[in-house]
Chain A
Amino acid sequence: MLRKFALALLALTLWCSPAAAETYIVAGDCTWPPMEALDKDKTPVGYSFDIIRAVAQAAGFEVEIRNIAWDGIFAGVAAGNYDIVASSTTITPERQKAFDFSDPYYEVHQAVIMPAGKSIAKLDDLKGKNVGGQIGTTGIFVMQKANVGATIREYDDVGLAIQDMVAGRIDAVICDDPVAMFYMNKKAEYAKKLTIPLVTNDVEYYGFTVKKGRKDLVEKINKGLKIIRDNGTEAKIKEKWMGAD
Chain B
Amino acid sequence: MQDKIEGQSKGNIVMVTEENTMPDSRDGQSKNTIIMVTEGPSIPDPREWRIVNAWSIALVGAIVTLCCLAWFRPDPYRDILTFVPDGLAATFQVTLLSICCAVPLGLLTGLGRISRHRLINLVASTYVEVIRGIPLLVQIFYFYYALSGLLQLSRTAAAVISISFCYGAYMGEVFRAGILAISKGQTEAARSLGFNRFQTMFYVILPQAWRTILPPIGNECIAMLKDTALVSVVSMPDLMQRARSYANNTYLYFETYTVIALIYLIITLLLSKVVSIMESRLNYYDGKR
Contact = CB atoms under 8 A, between A and B. Distances in A.
A156 B233 contact: yes
A4 to B, nearest CB: 37
A135 B245 contact: yes
A163 B244 CA distance: 21
Given A132-B235, A135-B244, A163 B148 contact: yes
Contacts of B144: 164
A98 B255 CA distance: 14
Interface string A153-177: 1111000110110011100000000
Interface in A16-39: none
Nearest to B246: A136
B125 interface: no
Contact of B154 (A78, A98, A141, A169): A169
B233 A141 contact: no
B148 A164 contact: yes
A7 interface: no
B145 A163 contact: yes
A136 B244 contact: yes
A71 interface: yes
Given A71-B244, A168-B152, A136 B233 contact: no
B148 A167 contact: yes
Contacts of A71: 244, 248
B149 to A, nearest CB: 7
Interface string B217-237: 000000000000000010101
Given A154-B241, A163-B148, A167-B148, A95 B251 contact: yes
A208 to B, nearest CB: 16
B145 A136 contact: no
Contacts of B148: 163-164, 167, 169
Interface in B136-153: 144-145, 148-149, 152
B155 interface: yes
Interface residues of B, number: 19
A213 interface: no
B53 interface: no
A47 interface: no
B192 interface: no
A99 B237 CA distance: 28
Contacts of A168: 152
A232 interface: no
Interface in B233-289: 233, 235, 237, 241, 244-245, 247-251, 253
Interface in A151-207: 153-156, 160-161, 163-164, 167-169
B260 to A, nearest CB: 14
Given A72-B253, A74-B251, A154 B245 contact: yes
Interface of A: 71-72, 74-75, 78, 94-95, 98-99, 132, 135-136, 140-141, 153-156, 160-161, 163-164, 167-169
10 contacts: A72-B247, A74-B251, A75-B253, A132-B235, A136-B249, A154-B235, A154-B237, A156-B233, A160-B235, A167-B148
Considering the complex of A and B, which 4 residue pairs feature the smallest CB-CB distances, nearest first? A136-B248, A167-B148, A75-B253, A153-B235
Given A160-B233, A163-B148, A167-B148, 10 more contacts: A72-B253, A75-B253, A94-B250, A94-B251, A98-B251, A135-B244, A136-B248, A156-B233, A164-B144, A164-B148
